[in-house]
Amino acid sequence: MKTLVRVVLLAVVAGAAARADDKPGSPPEGYTALFNGKDLTGWKATGRPDQWAAEDGVIVCKGGGGGYLLTEKEYGDFDFRCEYRWVEKGGNSGVGIRTPAKGDPAYVGMEIQLIDDEGWPGKLADYQHTGSIYDVQPAKLQANNPIGEWNKVHIHCHGRHVKVVQNGKILVDADLDDYKDKYEKHPGLKREKGHIGFQSYNIRVEFRNVWVKEIGK
């Protein structure tokens, strides 16, 4: 009987922890929330607006392509944090940084790749793995949580330095001046500021706790 009680209590505690983890948090000191939890005020879709929604405190990309959802404001040097999760295997998305409002952020800005590395139905190039600066700097490793769980992403962008951390693991720590041979194909590597946003590519993906801290302000 004691063993049964202990198992039940552990299950209750685990369930409570899961429910607590399922709630959006508050920005750390110095950070500003880019998403108000209710609607997409402050954001603009570059493709199909119907692919984006605010539901239960998260930004939802419904899937099916349709471009990016970008901040209306531009950012230069910043710390950006967000959490994302897939609802099924085979997801592909990205975080656009320092991108202009028009054009493909992977080239006219920079795209930090987000993808289901383990469940993608095909072979990925090294620069296509999660955390990579797309087509520029491959991620050093993969640190995805299981499908259905939240992943924490931290992007530090200061001058020519870009650092990407996922779930506490450093995936990229790059000096953009080391990639001058890619400037022609990726003119966004030379940009000093631009919009931040999320990519709509294939299936549903959810984002929450979307925070930014401007550096030098």
Q: What CA–CA distances, in Å, run from 203 to 46, 115, 119, 141?
A: 18, 11, 13, 24
Q: pLDDT value at position 26?
A: 85
**pLDDT at residue 66 above 90?**
no
Q: Which domains does the chain show, CATH number per domain?
A: 29-214 (2.60.120.560)
Which are the contacts of 93, defined by CB distance < 8 A and separation ≥ 6? 61, 84, 114, 115, 198, 199, 200, 201, 205
Question: Average pLDDT, whole number, for the chain?
Answer: 90
pLDDT score recorded for residue 9: 38
pLDDT at position 65, please?
A: 79
pLDDT in tens, 7-41: 333 333 333 333 445 666 888 999 999 999 999 99
Mean pLDDT of 178-198: 98
Give residue 7's pLDDT: 34
The pLDDT assigned to 63 comes to 84
pLDDT of residue 216: 80
Over residues 69-87, the pLDDT tens digits come to: 999 999 999 999 999 999 9
**Location of structure tokens 């590519």:** 201
